[in-house]
Amino acid sequence: MNKNKEFELRYAVRPFKRENKKIEEDLNNKIKKNLKLLENIPNRLPIMTYYEEILGSSSRIDELKKAKENGKKIVGVFCNFVPEELLYAAGLVPIRLCAGSYDTIYPAEEILPRDICQLIKSSVGFKLLGLSYFELCDLVIIPTTCDGKKKLGEMLNSFVPVLLLELPNRKNLQRAKDFWINEVKTLKKKLEKFARVKITRQGLKHAIQTLQKRQAVFRKFYELRKNNQGLNGRDTFLVIQAAFYDEVSRWIEKTQTLCDQLVSNKKSQESRIRLLLTGAPIIWPNYKLLNIIEESGAIIVADELCSGTRMLYDPVGVDEWTEKAMITGIAYRYLLPSTCPCFTESNDRMDRILDLLNEFNVEGV
């Protein structure tokens, strides 16, 4: 036997799909438990049932299955660095795959290093078990934000095509900006090849404008959190993370309705200790920390998480509607405002936290 072939066979990682009804059952029970806790929040607005349905039922999954039957391609993404504008312009449907269930960690530990982070293990576990949105994806895009994400790409590539987005280490250097713009251009070409379409200037403009509307509605919602008109922290994360999966125009419509209801709602929230949440991402249904904080009598009024405000806050800035200007605007939107600790300089993250303390009258972090 060829020596190279022998080496490949001896050391190849061959993950396989398996079923585990108990894990599925436990996961569904945790989702139901979380929904029950959310239902018990006082003075809750009826519109919140929409966000619960997106995250807590299979309705959106069923919609995406029908879309696939009609020829739509689903693209799973990780982190906040994948330009959604390019995906929409190519006629693709993006969904965020970061997993938040520790029940799915155990199957992944068979093939992943022991000390790799739980989010990576949970995500691989979802794929091994064939659960949730992971089974729908025709392509997965993973930014290289950490060693774990690089390993994740290697693992998932056994099941589904994976594209890695290379990130610079120091985002403020001109050569880093140029490098990232070229990465975005390369991604555009790869998406065109994958989807077998040409991303047109008009298509890209429409995608940018659609997501600018989403950011405008979210900023309105964000401003309401600065006073007692805003939602509690748990419902806020529910609103944001429904955008991971739902059709963008419906999310905009529902969240605009939510903002209108919050403005007209005369029931003011009771005075509670106002907290800012920062650190590692919190992903549905792992809301344990959120539940502990708010059931103890405090309220999360602001966050600095990539699974929270940081995902939806920043719009693409475009000086003119040329393809070059739009690509540059998209690249800068995903790179420059990011306070991700994957970059070697983090002064802007500290500045951002200090700004949030003042904006939201925060009493604790």
pLDDT in tens, 230-270: 789 999 999 999 999 999 999 999 999 999 999 988 666 66
Q: Which residues contact 154 (CB under 8 A, 6 or more apart)?
A: 13
So what's the pLDDT on residue 229?
A: 72
Q: Dmax over Cα atoms in the chain, in whole Å?
A: 77
- Supply 112's token pair: 């992943």
So what's the pLDDT on residue 8?
A: 47
So what's the pLDDT on residue 102?
A: 78
Are the CB atoms for 290 and 265 separated by under 8 Å?
no
The DSSP H or E segment spanning 304 is strand 298-304
Which parts of the chain sit beneath pLDDT 50? Answer: 1, 6-12
So what's the pLDDT on residue 190?
A: 98
Distances (CA, A) of 56 to 32, 254, 270: 7, 17, 28
**Residue 362 φ then ψ, to 5°:** -70, 140
As a whole number of angstroms, the distance between CA 153 and CA 162 comes to: 6
As a whole number of angstroms, the distance between CA 86 and CA 168 comes to: 20
As a whole number of angstroms, the distance between CA 136 and CA 316 comes to: 28
So what's the pLDDT on residue 360?
A: 93
80 exposed, middle or buried (CB, 10 Å; 0-12, 13-18, 19+)?
buried
Angle (nearest 5°) at CA 41 between 233 and 306:
20
As a whole number of angstroms, the distance between CA 280 and CA 307 comes to: 9
Residues in the chain: 365
So what's the pLDDT on residue 126?
A: 87
Amino acid sitting at position 89: A
- Supply 332's token pair: 């800068």
So what's the pLDDT on residue 3?
A: 53
So what's the pLDDT on residue 100?
A: 75
How many Cβ atoms are within 10 Å of 120's Cβ, its own excluded? 24
So what's the pLDDT on residue 4?
A: 53
| Domains located in the chain, CATH noted | 17-359 (3.40.50.11890)
